[in-house]
Amino acid sequence: MGKIMGRSTAGGQEHGAPSDLLLVQRVQKGEKGAFDLLVRKYQHKVISLVGRFVRTPEEAEDVAQEAFVKAYRALANFRGDSAFYTWLYRIAVNTAKNHLVAQGRQVSIVDAETEDAEQFASADGLREYDTPEGLLLSKELAEHIDTALAALPEDLRTAVTLREFEGLSYDEIAQVMECPVGTVRSRIFRARESIAKVLAPLLEQEKS
């Protein structure tokens, strides 16, 4: 398999809503550690979402942190009427908008309704603070990911591709690959671990 250019992604989809609810219930019983798991799960998506409103990556992280703290405080009111991530993205969008108002700035990005937060989170488009360096890193990152994918054994690559780019469930992948669903889980886990190892140096470089 060569480079996977122009691929579609399952970016708008969220999996594991029942587990989110379980973690929320644990937080509602006083276990802050369960909220930490939710933060680790959604941190990248929330920061990217907020990043469409603000000017710098640092500002995006500050606003995202504020959004998570607000979400924690409001979690007592969360009853599971909507999915947790939809509720969280709504808080993030509102926090970002309030931040801009407090700064005396206008919402210069698409003034998305909060109901569209989920779609907005995965929409393509440049951020306000995109720089040539940032774009270069993005291109380099994409190349690294293509390289890492190409280096995977066929069964791992197929499983992770069906999962991440086609958005198939584990059961659907098991049917396509004609293997037990447990094998699918294991293959996707190992594929992501392999890719993480390849990307680690690049991500370290970005951090520095």
Partner 1 sequence: MNDETQKELMAFMEGELTGLRANRLAMRLQSERGLREAWESQYRVSFLLQNDRNGVQLASADFADRVAWAIMSEPSILAPQTGRRRGVSWSFWMKAGSVAAVLVVSVTLVGVFPNNIASDQSVARGGSGHYATTAMLRGFSSRSDEFHLRPVAGFTPRSSGADVLIQRDIQRLWVPGGGNYLAPSQIFTAYDSGQAGLESAGYTPAAGISAASMAFPAGNP
Element (H, E) at 178: none
Residue count (the chain): 208
Query: Looking at 58-66, 85-93, 95-103, 111-119, which segment touches partner 1 (CB under 8 A)?
Result: 58-66
User: Which residue, 37 or 107, has its beta carbon nearer to partner 1?
Assistant: 37
Looking at residues 4 to 33 of the shown chain, list those that interact with partner 1 (rule: CB under 8 A): 9-11, 15-20, 22-23, 26-33
Query: Within 10 A of 83 (CB to CB), how many other CB atoms are there?
Result: 14
The rounded Cα 136 to chain-centroid distance in angstroms is: 21
Our finding on whether 165 is near partner 1 (CB under 8 A) is yes
Looking at residues 71 to 90 of the shown chain, list those that interact with partner 1 (rule: CB under 8 A): 72-73, 75-79
- Which residues make Cβ contacts (< 8 Å) with residue 206, sequence separation at least 6? 137
> Please, what is the Cα angle at 40 between 48 and 202, to 5 degrees?
65
Query: Looking at 55-63, 93-101, 109-117, 150-158, which segment touches partner 1 (CB under 8 A)?
Result: 55-63
In the chain, helix, strand, coil percent, each to 5? 70, 0, 30
Query: Looking at 60-68, 91-99, 101-109, 112-120, which segment touches partner 1 (CB under 8 A)?
Result: 60-68
The token duo for 59 is 């500002």
Our finding on whether 55 is near partner 1 (CB under 8 A) is no
Our finding on whether 40 is near partner 1 (CB under 8 A) is yes
Our finding on whether 65 is near partner 1 (CB under 8 A) is yes
